[in-house]
């Protein structure tokens, strides 16, 4: 099941071989079907129905209130929380995302770079 990276900054980070923490409004079906915290092999594209841009591994981190995402900001690809939340809103047709709304957080990384040592996160 593909995961789309429509936002330029997180997509660029992913394609540099760095891990990306991405917040989604809905839980990925594969994580419901295969619980256990192990990485899921998948692929990413730039937009729905777009071609593959990377083979990836996805880890479900869990469900968090939007206000707690700040812990993962350095690995999100965004410069600050306002930018990250605004992008979540934009990608969800400007539906309200408040501080106490719960979002699903995933760590995503290119498969080729997953097992290589990385000092940049």
Residue-wise pLDDT tens digits, 95-108: 767 777 899 999 99
Using DSSP bridges, classify how beta strands 52-65 and 102-110 pair: parallel, antiparallel or unpaired.
antiparallel
Tokens coding 10: 């997180």
Query: How buried is 98 (Cβ within 10 angstroms: 0-12 exposed, 13-18 middle, 19+ buried)?
Result: exposed
Cβ atoms of 73 and 80 closer than 8 Å: yes
Residue 7 has pLDDT above 90, yes or no: yes
Q: Which of 107, 96, 82 is nearest to 25 (CA)?
A: 96
Q: Side-chain half-sphere of 87: how many Cα atoms within 13 Å?
A: 19
| Three-state DSSP state, 29 | helix
Structure confidence at residue 119 as a pLDDT band (50, 70, 90):
low
Q: What is the pLDDT of residue 118?
A: 55
Cα distance between residue 62 and residue 34, in whole Å = 14
Using DSSP bridges, classify how beta strands 40-45 and 3-4 pair: parallel, antiparallel or unpaired.
parallel
Place of tokens 């591994």: 57
Q: Write down the pTM of the prediction.
A: 0.84
């Amino acid at each position: 099941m593909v995961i789309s990276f429509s936002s330029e900054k997180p997509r660029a980070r992913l394609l540099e071989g760095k891990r990306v923490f991405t917040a989604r409004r809905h839980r990925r079906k594969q994580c419901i079907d295969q619980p256990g915290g192990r990485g899921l092999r998948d692929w990413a594209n730039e937009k729905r129905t777009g071609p593959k841009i990377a083979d990836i591994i996805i880890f479900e981190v869990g469900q968090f209130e939007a206000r707690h995402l700040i812990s993962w900001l350095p690995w999100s690809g965004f410069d600050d929380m306002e930018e990250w939340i605004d992008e979540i809103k934009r990608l969800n047709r400007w539906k309200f995302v408040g501080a106490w709304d719960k979002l699903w957080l995933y760590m995503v990384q290119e498969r080729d770079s997953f097992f290589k040592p990385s000092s940049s996160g």
